[in-house]
Chain A
Amino acid sequence: MTTEAVRVEGVSKVFDPDIQALTDVSLTVEQGEFLVVIGLSGSGKSTLLRCINRLIDPTAGRIWLFGEEITAAEGARLRALRTQIGMIFQQFNLVRRHTVMSNVLSGGLGRASLFGSLLMRYPEEERRRAVAALERVGLGGRGGSRADRLSGGQQQRVAVARALMQQPKLILADEPVASLDPALRHSVMRHIESLNRDEGMTVVCTLHDVDLVQRYATRLVALRDGKLVYEGGPSDFDADTFRDIYGADAEPATDMLLGTEGATP
């Protein structure tokens, strides 16, 4: 019995026309980890995350999910593997014109009956689960609101509830708090942390903020120009490694934000 959640082996991605987004990336994520991926803007973090659930097909390399190779899966098999991976996005990506409830319910689409879900009918049990998920992220009673009426922080919590509804074993979070007010960041991050601690879900999360990295990560990897340049615990992450990753001009002490335009040489 293996304990690895994700194994990435020699993954490269070249976008048309000739943009090398990832170069030969290999890494392993153990079950139960909270792995944070950092790197400058354009270093390939989002691309790496999207390769793991095959929203993007890697150009080369292989990826395993709980021992099964997802890069070899197609059709129904691929969809079945995807139900085990929840995803949270920087821009929330809710269905804006649908209600909060409907958005949370859509997390369970992978197991819903095709016909019922097209008519947006769900079994009672699914509805109960969705209500519970909403309550858990502190949005009980807001199920009837239209998704785009909510504030950014609330929308991201709906997205967390959607992931919770999906009951995946792995969560991919791509800059989940980058477009939120700094004061709201911890509220969303704590919910993601709770998925990791209380539900035992493995989390792979990209972040820009030193604070958040040191507070939530159990392990850290860094990308630079599409290559993996650092792997370690959050506490080994000192000023020197910081400059390695972000370039000599970056200022960790004066500026708490990493990786935004200001840090680019």
Chain B
Amino acid sequence: MRRLKGLVVDWVLLTLFLLMVEFLALSFSGSRGPTGLLVTPEETLDLLHYGWCAALGLLVAIAWQSLRGVRRESPGHALIFGEETDEAIPWTHTLRGWFTALLIELTFLTGWLITEVQLFDFLTQFNKATDIVRGLVAENVFALFLRNAGEVPAQSADVLHQGLVLLVQTIFLAFMATAFAIPVAFAMSFFAARNLTRTTSLSRWMYTLVRAVMNITRSVEPLVWALIFISWVGIGPFAGVLALWVHSVAALVKLYSEQIESIDHGPVEAITATGASTLQVLRYGVVPQVIPPFLSFTIYRWDINVRMSTIIGFVGGGGIGYILKPRVDLGQWGEVGTLVILIALTVWAMDIISAKIRERIV
């Protein structure tokens, strides 16, 4: 069984290896496109022989597993069985070392081509963006001086006013999302901790279920959640609260449960030994140990939520993003700059405050 797992790992790695080799060979052969690169995903897919790569990968993987001298060195074997040699051999002396090094190189090269890295443009074409940068920075600095001279542009002052009001909304939005997330995440985290869910088969099921649901929830972007809740409860800050709430629950369950998994098991044993029931064991053996880190995580999460809630506003989830988005679209960089500075100041302040509080708690 474990040998089979090792074989599958090898197979996947070798197939990826071969696919990347083929991709690079095709890209540099110059047969396609004006630059010699493959441009669209369809073109790439048309040309790659993944079936053959997989078959060849399997063949090599089987060969690697069955050749006596090097079987131990296959990456799959090492991952599944763990390192078996005592002395540390430098990687240049093993087949696995070379294979891993090559695989990393290949991945980097392939990534370079796939994400269309253009170092030349990056280093030489800055002047095309100067307009935006000037708008973001210069106009606002300028406005400060103008204000001193008593000439505040009416429009800019308006944005500042609106921005401040919505900033308050943003902070409360983040706060409510966090507050709603705490009890739900707290209750669920006990089911998501491995060390508390080993005893009965029901609890093992709960563990798997909660972990799976939370992983899925967490991997869906808050922006997508916002879109879902906007059609559910309508445009406005409450949709944003719900979106951040869902995401915060998933994130907090992960942080909380990892904390629970790292507690000292001694008090749990001691309380269990008195004949206490499961809830009492949690209350006395677990909770006192995890409260300070939980508080710290929660404040950190509030901090993250403030940052996220600006983006949520882009799609109509309330908060300052709501007035930021149209100005970005219209290219009113001066006003965008004003708002960005407001957000930056808030995030900065939140960061300092949350760091201070967390310092106190732990």
A127 CB → nearest B CB, Å: 16
Please tell me which one of the listed residues B273, B277, B284 contacts residue A95 in the complex, with CB atoms under 8 A apart: B284
Interface positions of B from 229 to 279, Cβ below 8 Å from A: 266-267, 269-277, 279
B273 near A82 (CB under 8 angstroms)?
yes
Stretch at the interface among A83-91, A202-210, A245-253, A257-265: A83-91
Q: State the B residues within 8 Å of A (CB).
A: 266-267, 269-277, 279-280, 283-285, 288-289, 291
A96 near B283 (CB under 8 angstroms)?
no
Q: Can you spell out 7 A-B residue pairs with CB atoms less than 8 angstroms apart?
A: A85-B273, A94-B267, A107-B274, A109-B277, A109-B280, A110-B275, A172-B273
B277 near A55 (CB under 8 angstroms)?
no
* A142 to B334 CA separation, bound complex (whole angstroms): 65
- Which A residue's beta carbon lies closest to that of B281? A109
- Which A residue's beta carbon lies closest to that of B199? A57
- Extra inter-chain contacts (9) besides given A50-B269, A83-B275, CB under 8 Å: A82-B274, A86-B274, A87-B270, A95-B271, A106-B271, A114-B277, A114-B280, A118-B280, A159-B270
List residues of chain A with CB within 8 A of the CB of B276.
Answer: 79, 106, 109-110, 117
Please tell me which one of the listed residues B270, B277, B279, B280 contacts residue A94 in the complex, with CB atoms under 8 A apart: B270
B275 near A95 (CB under 8 angstroms)?
no
* A114 to B277 CA separation, bound complex (whole angstroms): 8
- Taking the complex as formed, is A156 at the interface, i.e. its CB lies under 8 A from any CB of chain B? no
B272 near A110 (CB under 8 angstroms)?
no
B242 CB → nearest A CB, Å: 30
Please tell me which one of the listed residues A80, A97, A108, A118 contacts residue B283 in the complex, with CB atoms under 8 A apart: A118
B266 near A82 (CB under 8 angstroms)?
no
Q: A166-195 interface mask toward B, CB cutoff 8 Å, 1 = contact, 0 = none?
A: 100000100000000000000000000000
A120 CB → nearest B CB, Å: 8
* A92 to B269 CA separation, bound complex (whole angstroms): 11
Please tell me which one of the listed residues B266, B275, B291 contacts residue A109 in the complex, with CB atoms under 8 A apart: B275
B272 CB → nearest A CB, Å: 6
Q: Which of B270, B277, B289, B291: most chain A Cβ within 10 A?
A: B270
B274 near A110 (CB under 8 angstroms)?
yes
A83 CB → nearest B CB, Å: 3
* A172 to B272 CA separation, bound complex (whole angstroms): 14
A82 near B275 (CB under 8 angstroms)?
yes
A109 near B284 (CB under 8 angstroms)?
yes
List residues of chain B with CB within 8 A of the CB of A114.
Answer: 277, 279-280
* A157 to B267 CA separation, bound complex (whole angstroms): 15
- Taking the complex as formed, is A98 at the interface, i.e. its CB lies under 8 A from any CB of chain B? yes
Q: If A55-B272, A95-B288, A109-B274 touch, does A118 touch B267 (CB 8 Å cutoff)? A: no
Q: State the A residues within 8 Å of B (CB).
A: 50, 53, 55, 79-87, 89, 91-98, 106-110, 112, 114, 117-118, 159, 162, 166, 172
Please tell me which one of the listed residues B270, B280, B288 contacts residue A117 in the complex, with CB atoms under 8 A apart: B280
List residues of chain A with CB within 8 A of the CB of B277.
Answer: 79, 109, 114
Please tell me which one of the listed residues A50, A84, A109 contacts residue B271 in the complex, with CB atoms under 8 A apart: A109
List residues of chain A with CB within 8 A of the CB of B288.
Answer: 95-98
List residues of chain A with CB within 8 A of the CB of B266.
Answer: 89, 91-93
List residues of chain B with CB within 8 A of the CB of A106.
Answer: 271, 274, 276, 284
* A160 to B269 CA separation, bound complex (whole angstroms): 15
Task: For the complex of A and B, list the 6 residue pairs with the smallest distance between their C-beta atoms, beginning with the closest.
Answer: A110-B275, A83-B275, A93-B266, A82-B275, A93-B270, A109-B276
List residues of chain B with CB within 8 A of the CB of A108.
Answer: 274
List residues of chain B with CB within 8 A of the CB of A172.
Answer: 273
- Which B residue's beta carbon lies closest to that of A120? B283
* A87 to B267 CA separation, bound complex (whole angstroms): 11
A87 near B275 (CB under 8 angstroms)?
no
List residues of chain B with CB within 8 A of the CB of A98.
Answer: 284, 288
* A86 to B273 CA separation, bound complex (whole angstroms): 7
* A93 to B289 CA separation, bound complex (whole angstroms): 12
B274 near A166 (CB under 8 angstroms)?
yes
B274 near A83 (CB under 8 angstroms)?
yes
Q: If A97-B288, A109-B284, A117-B280 touch, does A79 touch B270 (CB 8 Å cutoff)? A: no
A55 near B267 (CB under 8 angstroms)?
no
- Which A residue's beta carbon lies closest to that of B283? A118
A95 near B280 (CB under 8 angstroms)?
no
* A79 to B284 CA separation, bound complex (whole angstroms): 16
Please tell me which one of the listed residues A79, A80, A93 contacts residue B269 in the complex, with CB atoms under 8 A apart: A93
List residues of chain B with CB within 8 A of the CB of A109.
Answer: 271, 274-277, 280, 284
* A136 to B211 CA separation, bound complex (whole angstroms): 48
A172 CB → nearest B CB, Å: 8
